[in-house]
Amino acid sequence: MKSAKILVVACLLFGWQAGPARAADDAPVSPPPDAAALGYDVSWPQCGARLPNPAKFAVIGVNGGRPGTENPCLLTQLAWGAGTAGAAAGIPVPVYVNTANPGRDGSSWWPASNAYRGKKVTNPYGVCDGTSSPACAYTYGYALAFDDANLRGVPDPAHHLWWLDVETGNSWSPDTAANTADLEGMTAYLQSTGAEVGIYSTAHQLGKIAGTVGPGSNLNKLKNWIPGADSTASAQAKCASEPLTPGGTITMTQFTAGDLDYNYPCPTTPSNPSALHPGQVPSPSPARMPEQSPRPAYAPQPISYTTSQTNTLPEVPGTALQCDTAADPSPGRSEHGRAPGDPTDIGGCSGPEVL
């Protein structure tokens, strides 16, 4: 494991190409016997691949393996996800986005004020002065989330659950406070639209990137999606792990079988066990899908997912990737279908390590 002094390693990206997790004409891998009770997550590596029959729920990747990029199959995959049981019940398909904090010297665009696209950013870290400070990192994260929600083609973004994919495979500052601010900025923008937000990470990776998340952070009470299992049984066991933040709740865990990621929805428990009558033992709660909680003010409406999208806003500025090339202890693959060290994973820079 590399020391903290060399957490950030510059990577030159000579080219990026979205490749399928499996060739479209390959024979499908047999799913786990209990796949009907599980969900899938797919993204750009599944472009052109045969997707399984929709199951209990699905999570779709918005980006093309790194922040500031697009999944070219997003709308097609959202349409596929609309066939899941969760979507049929009126819950929009959850999505996930890549995260990063490259700092001023690692990005082709970096904020110089508390504003983005003409909108003032209320910044809890003070005034962004163009440096790699937490204040500017907060505005940068806010801008990433703004573009993901408004430029990538996600229909009705306010009513999706947005998972922040927080992994060491993308670009991060050695300043954990700035990285925390970046993630808080992403969360703040998405929550300002009315969307629900969660964190996908491992305790090791989140700790390395953001350090200890304080109780006052808006990351503290987010839902958690935990990778690293290798079967349904171990995914179920991971539901009992410590959450990523003190106020967090693990609502979903992940394992890989064949060329697909499977996700187990963790059972829920009463939020206030003391409210039970004395001597009353709570019954085990049934497994609950990890999509967003219903909002009384919102009556789910059918969402039409088309396969073409025209963006009317300018494209998001790209980032120069900086990566931690040290191996992470968590098992898994480098986004869907790419094992760590696979030639399609250029220098460990083009995508996350597990999801």
Taking only the tens place, the pLDDT of each residue in 17-65 is 322 233 333 445 556 666 668 999 999 999 999 898 878 999 999 999 9
The radius of gyration of the chain from alpha carbons, rounded to an integer in Å, stands at 19
What is the pLDDT, as a whole number, of residue 290?
39
| pLDDT at residue 317 in the model | 42
Mean pLDDT of the chain: 75
Query: How far apart (Å, rounded) are the C-alpha atoms in residues 206 and 213?
Result: 9
Q: State mean pLDDT over 232-238.
A: 94
Per-residue pLDDT averaged across 277-289, rounded?
36
Is it the case that residue 67 has pLDDT exceeding 70?
A: yes
Q: pLDDT tens for residues 95-146?
A: 999 999 999 999 999 999 999 999 999 999 999 999 999 999 999 999 999 9
Q: Which residues contact 68 (CB under 8 A, 6 or more apart)?
A: 144, 147, 316, 317, 318, 319
Note the pLDDT of residue 44. 96
Please report, for the chain, the start and end positions of each structural domain, with discontinuous segments joined by +. 35-270+285-348
CA dihedral of residues 323, 200, 305, 334 (deg, nearest 10): 40
Mean pLDDT of 79-100: 93
Q: Tell me, what's the pLDDT at 91?
A: 85
Inter-CA distances, 168 with 15, 251, 258, Å: 20, 22, 24
- Tell me what pLDDT residue 233 has: 93
pLDDT of 255 higher than 50: yes
* Residue 38 to residue 44: CA distance in whole angstroms: 21
Q: Both tokens of residue 218?
A: 């808006």
* pLDDT above 50: residue 349: no
From 38-47, 110-119, 300-309, 339-348, the region with the lowest mean pLDDT: 339-348
Mean pLDDT, residues 203-208 = 97
Count other C-beta atoms under 10 Å from residue 353's C-beta: 26
**CATH code reported for the domain at 35-270+285-348:** 3.20.20.80
